[in-house]
Chains A and B, each alone.
Chain A
Amino acid sequence: MVDVDLSHPPFSLLDDTGRERIRGGLDLAYYDRDEVILEAGQPGEYVFLIHKGEVAELDTSQPGESERIGHYTSGDLFGAISILNGQSRYRFRAEQETLCYLLPKALFTRLCDAYPAFAAFFHQRLAHKARLLSERRATGGISMADFMLARVADCMRPPLCLAEDATIAEAVRRLHEGYADSLLVTGGQGAGMVTKTDLLEALVLEDHEADSRLAPLAHFSLITARPDQYLFEVLVLMTRHRVERVVVTDRGSPVGVVELTDVLSHFSNRSHVVSLQVEQADDLATLAAASLRTPELVSGLMTQGVKLRFVMGLLAALNGRIIHKAWEFSIAERHRRASCLMVMGSEGRGEQILKTDQDNGLILDDELDWPGCVEQMAGFTETLVALGYPRCPGNIMVSNPDWVGTESQWKSRIARWVEQRDGDSLMKLAIMLDAHSVAGNAALLDGVRATLFEQASRDQLLLSYFARPVLHFSTPLTLFGSLKKPQHGIDIKKGGIFPIVHGVRVMALERGIAATGTLERLDALVVDGRLDGRVAEDLGEALSLFTQLRLEQQLARREGGEATSDIEPDRVVVQSLSSLERDLLREALHIVKDFKQRISHRYHLEYS
């Protein structure tokens, strides 16, 4: 018929002839409220495309409210899986009067045969569909997105290599000929890096002779990257380690060098400007100016279709540097050496996007004597507020003496929390598990976290208590349409993000995985054998999707100047999503639901 929009996936995967065949083959059906459209166990005869109305997907084997597992509205598609599987697993019921286009089974299978991409759409998993979405989103600036997603191999230059026994004079000549700033010394102990600055300092400051050997000058602890990594990740590496060049290695041997200037010429946009500003800031005012530009950086990168994982990584590195700098400005060197400033919560996991509350704490060396500590910490919290990090409503800040302590104080605190196992203690344990050091002596935090793993990872009862909050919030599969006012949206943090983050955290605690990011933890759990690679990939993809949807709506609200954005940062209004996004969201929430069941089974939460 005339009125059907076939411009979205999966129909956009067909050509005009295919779409014409669909238009010619569709029937229409009208369903009353509460009428069952497709019964569980019934063979699938049609693909249903909703023109108007709302349909609920019900798992009849589940009791009561938990039977509702999906919700479909205008533009959505259902029933295809029933055709592919031979029968419907679930019951589909009209929530309102619903008008559906019916695509007969015979036509659907013929189309699947004729268009492999169309058929593949129905077999694909979330990761692939999400890629479709991001490709579609990036169509506004395809060239830009390609450009931002350049690989290391696209940008690296071949390394200048010299043998171990080369002299400084040879090195200088070689650099001059190659228009390069650095070269690699290859020898028995692997490759080492020598930069122009190293050579200058050796000749002028350390009185080396031009014909003395090059090898002693080289740095052998190199920051390396693989050629297939995104250039973006390299920028993150450089920001984090404060280096200007990264050696590209393939199976252990150096194949190229990426210089900061090369990366910057690739990313001639705001990201390097902000990070340079941060690095060059020499007082709090300039640091604050740089810090305030990070949201615009995020929206810039997002509109260019950069994968959220890398945006988060870059931002975490930037925020870490900002806090680190602020710490350097505020605290005397000898105190810094004997203490460790840690960030926690989403910042510790490297998963915040827009500026989040400051969640931080301080570990002091047992021997340190620091009389003015309390005042200085209160001052530091104020400094961070000035830099644009709001206060933590839960008062998890260095200005709170509960979150400052010596190493042995922290260890006894942890022992007490493990002992008590009440809600508050468990929450604090979770917070500590995500702690990540940003300034000072990181070994202090490692010691404290080692105690934490030692005490908690084998205590099955504690793990069970610790895992329980995963089931705390129901997954909002049902809320899509039945909200009184659709603009209230669903709380994506409670419904989607928290169960994944916390569930993964529990598993990481059990296996003693030190990583703090959820995605890194997932990777580590796969290596550990605790999780199947596909499951981990799906979970990571679901988490990225939730974060992305939340971020997009936050950015939109920020632009719209809506006042409520501060009150409900986690609200996602389902009705404002496209049908593909809804489809992805639905699938991601299903993944969360399965994961919750898995956690519940693993940690015996059924009876608690």
Chain B
Amino acid sequence: MLRTLRRVVDRHRHAHGHYGWLFHPYTGEELVALAVQATEGDARLAEPLVIAAVRLRGDRILTSESLELRLAPTSGLDADTIRHHCLRGIDLDDGVGMDQALAGLLDFVGNRPLVSWRLDQELALINRQLRRHFGFDLPNAGIDLAQLYQRRQRHYHPQLEPVAPFERVAERLGVPVMGRHSALGTAVTTALMHLRLARQATPARHSG
């Protein structure tokens, strides 16, 4: 409710601005898979470190047109983050500023629908920065794979356990986990999982 309200306000406010087109409904057939690596700790204070996105068109994942933004961290990295993401300070030294990164992201994503594992968390990370720098949230339509998977599982096995972790789901779907510990790898894996789930929903189109 609050989010819808916010979006209406955003749209109204930015309709004639530079990013007004983002608020138009999308008519193409591409999607964008999104993954974010962030600093650890309090979710409300976490900052994105790497934002990766890759386009999907039909049954193709356009890895040749992918985006990987390394952000220069505003505060120092803590040890946990480094251990978890295998990212060190120097890996981010050539990172870009938040302004630039977000502009790049908006250009890449446009008004395409987003696909992500736990989309809410990823969006929260991005939107906090986006609102600070541009004054609006990402208005795109979104697909949360975790939710989609869980809904589908519940449909087939109503008494089943809560959602499995990302990598286990990938394994169940027969999707190889690409480039572990890299945001781009996660984005590509997410894209693959989405393809698989979308395929399974519709019965096999080809036979022969």
Contact = CB atoms under 8 A, between A and B. Distances in A.
Contacts of B199: 30, 32
B206 A30 contact: no
A155 interface: no
B178 interface: yes
A429 B22 CA distance: 83
A386 interface: no
Contacts of A102: 60
B192 A2 contact: no
Given A25-B64, A102-B60, A30 B196 contact: yes
Contacts of A25: 64
Interface string A1-30: 111000000000000000000001111111
Interface stretch (B34-42, B100-108, B180-188): B180-188
Interface in B53-89: 59-64, 66
A299 to B, nearest CB: 37
Nearest to A25: B64
Contacts of B204: 32-35
Nearest to A100: B60
Interface string B157-183: 000000000000000001110110010
B206 A35 contact: yes
Contact of B179 (A3, A26, A31): A3
Interface string B40-54: 000000000000000
B176 A28 contact: no
A93 interface: yes
A407 to B, nearest CB: 63
Given A36-B208, A99-B192, A29 B61 contact: yes
A36 B63 contact: no
Contacts of B192: 28, 30, 99
A387 B204 CA distance: 62
A34 B208 contact: yes
A97 interface: yes
A593 interface: no
B179 A52 contact: no
Contacts of A32: 199, 204-206
B207 interface: yes
B124 interface: no
Contacts of B63: 1, 26-28
A24 B65 CA distance: 8
A52 B196 CA distance: 14
A68 interface: no
A contact residues, range: 20 to 34
A29 B207 CA distance: 18
Contacts of B195: 30
A99 B60 CA distance: 10
Contact of B185 (A2, A33, A52): A2
Interface size grouping (class) on chain B: 20 to 34
Contacts of B59: 29-31
A25 B65 CA distance: 8
A2 B178 contact: yes
A1 B188 contact: yes
A305 to B, nearest CB: 35
A51 interface: yes
Contact of A99 (B64, B176, B205, B208): B176
User: Most chain-B Cβ atoms within 10 A of its Cβ — which of A24, A30, A31, A33?
Assistant: A30
A79 to B, nearest CB: 15
A31 B66 CA distance: 21
Interface string A82-108: 000000000001000101001010000
B20 to A, nearest CB: 31
A26 B207 CA distance: 27
Contacts of B179: 1-3
Among A3, A25, A26, max chain B CB count under 10 A is at A3
A213 B206 CA distance: 90
A462 to B, nearest CB: 45
A11 B10 CA distance: 50
Given A2-B185, A27-B60, A99-B176, A34 B207 contact: yes
B188 to A, nearest CB: 6
Contacts of B61: 27-30
B185 to A, nearest CB: 6
Contacts of A1: 63, 66, 178-179, 184, 188
A440 to B, nearest CB: 64
Contacts of A31: 59
Nearest to B208: A34
A99 B66 CA distance: 18
A28 B79 CA distance: 34
Contacts of A99: 175-176, 192
B176 A24 contact: no
B115 to A, nearest CB: 14
Nearest to A22: B64
Nearest to A1: B63
A28 B61 CA distance: 5
Interface string A361-375: 000000000000000
Nearest to B56: A28
Contacts of B62: 27
Contacts of A93: 208
A404 to B, nearest CB: 60
Contacts of A36: 206, 208
A33 B208 CA distance: 10
A2 B208 CA distance: 33
B206 A51 contact: no
A17 B72 CA distance: 27
A31 B192 CA distance: 11
Which residue, of B63, B178, B188, B195, has the highest number of chain A Cβ atoms within 10 A?
A: B63
Interface in B13-38: none
Contacts of B196: 30, 97
Interface in B190-205: 191-192, 195-196, 199, 204-205
B52 to A, nearest CB: 11
Contacts of A35: 204-206
Given A26-B63, A29-B59, A33-B204, 14 more contacts: A1-B66, A1-B178, A3-B178, A24-B64, A25-B64, A27-B62, A27-B64, A30-B61, A30-B195, A32-B204, A36-B208, A97-B174, A99-B176, A104-B64
26 contacts: A1-B178, A1-B184, A2-B178, A2-B179, A3-B176, A3-B185, A27-B60, A27-B61, A27-B63, A28-B61, A28-B188, A29-B61, A30-B59, A30-B195, A30-B196, A30-B199, A31-B59, A34-B207, A34-B208, A36-B206, A52-B176, A97-B174, A99-B175, A99-B192, A102-B60, A104-B64
